[in-house]
Structure 1
Amino acid sequence: MSEDQSEAAAIVSELLDPGLSPQAFRPDRTTAAPATAWLGGGDALQQFGLRPGTPVHPHDLTHVLVGRHTDSGVRVLPDPALYNLVYLAPRSLSIAWTQLDTGAQSDIEEAIRDSARSMLAHLARSAALVDGVRPARSFVAALVSHAVGTRSDAAGPIPPLLHVHCCLFAVQDEDGTLAQPDEPTLADEDVQRECDAAAEAHLADRLVTLGYRVRNTAGAGTGHSFELDGVPRALLDDEEFWRNAGCAIAGG
């Protein structure tokens, strides 16, 4: 990404649009936990002036997008980039979420964010993200939860679509150096499938712990390894209902 403040501002505006956040769909607009968080090793994030687990604010995200320290503005990455890895929850979970109270909704949102965290951790320790030859010691990433996509309502109703933008900005080598992640590795279909499987396994376990029942749908062509019990299959397969679902925010 070139150092273009207007380009960075447009990305920030889309990613952090409060109208896409889960809390926008609650009557009191509250949430038990922030819908965003910085993720990665403390020493990796510190190079940008950030701390793990803190909310993602527009000012900080703009600076990271152009590769600069959030306070001093000093160059941290010579050639900054955004790799937007989107984790979509199963359709049944999005449908069930709309019917729950605030506490249960927040539990599900946190379970999905935890699954996204596990996906990024798995990616860093198992994929050759550093120069295409070795795993990363750590990384710099931002998690941003959305409850719907960004398709226009002019095309019809917009279904719920719980998903997390895993915005990966940099990986850290063993000596602490930050660099762009290896793009061919991120694009590798086997790597993507393995990361999706890790996230889904983590999410299914979390949901079972929360008291939900899940059914195995691996190989059923749904794109997910499980769905929640109790949500009608006809609704999940209704492509007319889901035709206006999707997220137009892209990166890379």
Structure 2
Amino acid sequence: MSEHDEIDVERPNAARMYDYYLGGSTNFEVDRAAAEAGRGAMPDAETYARANRAFLGRAVRYLCSVGIDQFLDLGSGSPTKGNVHEIARQANPEARVAYVDIESVAVAHSRRILADVDGVTVTRADIRRPDTVLNAPGVAGLLDFSRPVAVLAVAIMPFVPDDAEAAAVMAAYRQACTSGSYVAVSHISQLAATAEQVAAAEEVMARTPTPVSWRTADRIVPLLEGCSLVPPGLVPVPLWRPDGPVEPEQVVRANAFGAVGVLP
């Protein structure tokens, strides 16, 4: 069975919904309908998606500035403007990027676009299975874990709703990395959203194969255990090393915290 044969077009998919919020085209009507339902439940859903994408770009640029040239992008989704390898290679044309996602459409589309790009791989795998991910040919065959690697977990850990499992998953990736490696995490959190909006948004995602859990800052901290956080630490994503002034309204409407940590 091919990856295309496994595509479920009857149920909305989080990766394709996220792509829709970002203005991409790798989505179906069922995804667009669910995304609009999500927007109805939480009007700032698109702001959240775009703020996370912007955080990813700033984090990658920072990581390149400290000499990181290997990236493991967990839950990479569909290719869109500002891909990790595009950003990283502006600083270092030799940067290597291993993309990982479980969603068939995202993976197939990524492979078509990146087929002729050296030093970039796309692996279809469940990020909740670190051993599988780390031993996949596209990861183990590309990244040298005896040297520093940046593990990017941007807007993906909400899809591991159990706190203990989420912490264990991130711990497994950290343990695979050598000293001097980095971890970048962003996570949906209740800032501007009301409790009713959070409940409604979680209910929308419960109708997909990938339910989510919003987390408060104190529940996000364990995902970065063992890391020394790069200033300014764990903050609302628009405030993590912004490129310019940030409107206070945009800070809370992003409804997400983000941080970058280094393994001592």
Tell me which interval the TM-score lies in, with the shorter structure as reference length: under 0.3
Q: Which protein is richer in helix relative to its size?
A: 2
* Structure whose CA Rg is larger: 1
